Amino acid sequence: MHAVHDDNQASTGDPVSLVVAIPTFKRPDRLVRTLDLVGAQVAPLASDGRVSSASILVIDNDPAESARGVVDDSYHGVRTRYVAEATPGIPAVRNRALDESADIRLLSFIDDDEVPLEGWISSLLETWSTTGRPAAVMGRVVSLFDPDADPWVLESGLFRRPQRRTGAEIAVAATGNLLLDLSQVRRSGVRFDQRIGLGGGSDTLFSMGLKKTGARLVWCNESVAEDAVEPERQTRPWALKRSFSHGNVSVLVQLRLEPRSSRRALIRVKGVVGGAARVVAGFGRHLYGRLSRSVRHDARGLRLVYRGAGMISASVGQTYSAYSRPGSSA
């Protein structure tokens, strides 16, 4: 009944229900900070009538349920629920958020280690309302680094995300700062692919699958969440592994979205050829960077080499587990 009620509200411009989902895995200290900041921004939305109801949902993917003891019943008056998801991997956690929001119209995802800046959620809601109520609205995530971070990692461009005009339609969306219209998601039948498990790219596959059904994805430049990059991720080995993963995912997503075997074969061929071209071009740029002492060319060239290698790997049937955990066979 609630879902029907929300659909009617949306058609008349009245407030709709909202839940903010925060997936978490072994980051209780950061989660506590994020919860307080999220609650502070969500609370006014319900009190001034911009949403009919608002709540926070924490989904813990740690088998030890390390977040259970740090999650309160409410933050700034916003009702908060804790649930544990036993299936490892972010796709299972995101699907649990969809399932737990069966009577909710709008679902916002934010990561447990992100800091939502002022206007984060209100900007997402306003963009959704003023751009024809698209299926998804994506905001910005800005990465923050230690003052002594390796310049090579910064120059690689791995963490740089382009800004766009608010309301511009986008082809793919990440879930780090995302608002979903669940009435459209439910109609589409699209869910996060749990076959990916501990591999990356489930948000890419989800959003591209959603768009393939005719849904609209739009950008909100005013919504900003800051992400303090963990020290172990501010390293060259991690940046290169991430680049390999991005290349692997780019081909994997195409393969998962294509039902025809003949087309999948063509995707594999293009992946091998395109990947090889990137390896060659990237190595040339990397070598030029070394000879000219250009950190930028060195880093971006080597990043391109690893992306190309990831594309080749996926094309020949190898899936990279970007988020493998100790003791996991994934």
Q: Indicate whether 205 and 225 sit together in one domain.
A: yes
CA–CA gap between residue 197 and residue 2 (Å, rounded): 31
Domain boundary among 233, 258, 273: 233
Strand runs labelled E in the chain = 16-24, 51-60, 74-75, 78-84, 106-110, 114-116, 136-144, 177-181, 217-228
Kindly state the tokens that stand for 8. 């009617």
Q: Give the domain extent around 281.
A: 236-315
Q: Which of 167, 200, 233 is the last residue before a domain boundary?
A: 233
**182 in a domain, yes or no?**
yes
Same domain, 73 and 120: yes
Q: Are residues 161 and 246 in the same domain?
A: no
Quote the DSSP letter at residue 326. Answer: T
Domain identity same for 218 and 280 = no
User: Do 304 and 290 lie in a common domain?
Assistant: yes
Residues of the chain with pLDDT under 70: 1-14, 197-199, 322-330
Q: Assess if residue 96 is contained within a domain.
A: yes
Say if residue 213 is in the same domain as residue 98. yes
144 within a domain of the structure (yes/no): yes
How much of the chain is in helix, strand and coil states, percent to nearest 5? Answer: 50, 20, 35
Q: Are residues 193 and 271 in the same domain?
A: no
134/246 same-domain check: no
Q: Are 114 and 225 in contact (CB under 8 A)?
A: yes
- The model's pLDDT over 255-295, given as tens digits with 9 standing for 90+, comes to 988 899 999 999 999 999 999 999 999 999 999 999 999 99
Q: Are 145 and 234 in contact (CB under 8 A)?
A: yes
Number of structural domains (the chain) is 2
In a domain, 327, yes or no: no
Beta bridge partners of 138: 178, 219
9-47 pLDDT, tens digit each? 443 356 799 999 999 999 999 999 999 999 999 999 988
Strands 177-181 and 51-60: unpaired
Q: For 252, which DSSP code?
A: H
**What would the two tokens of residue 78 be?**
């916003």
**Domain presence at residue 164:** yes
Q: Does 323 fall in a domain?
A: no
If asked whether residues 117 and 192 sit together in one domain, one would say yes
- Is the same domain home to 287 and 184? no
Q: What is the pLDDT of residue 278?
A: 97
Torsion angle, alpha carbons of 70, 76, 78, 81, to 10: 0
Identify the DSSP state of 76: T
Residues 275 and 292 in one domain: yes
Query: In this predicted model, what pLDDT tens digit does every residue of 112-124 receive, in sequence order?
Result: 999 999 999 999 9
Is residue 51 located within the same domain as residue 102? yes
Q: In the sheet that 51-60 helps form, which strands lie side by side, from edge to edge?
A: 74-75, 78-84, 51-60, 16-24, 106-110, 177-181, 136-144, 217-228, 114-116
Using CA of residue 217, residue 222, residue 223, residue 224, what is the dihedral sign?
A: positive
Question: What is the reported pTM?
Answer: 0.87
pLDDT of 198: 65
- Of 233, 255, 282, the last residue of a domain is 233
In a domain, 324, yes or no: no
CATH number for the domain spanning 157: value is 3.90.550.10
CA dihedral defined by 136, 14, 34, 116, rounded to 10 degrees? 60
Indicate whether 297 belongs to any domain: yes
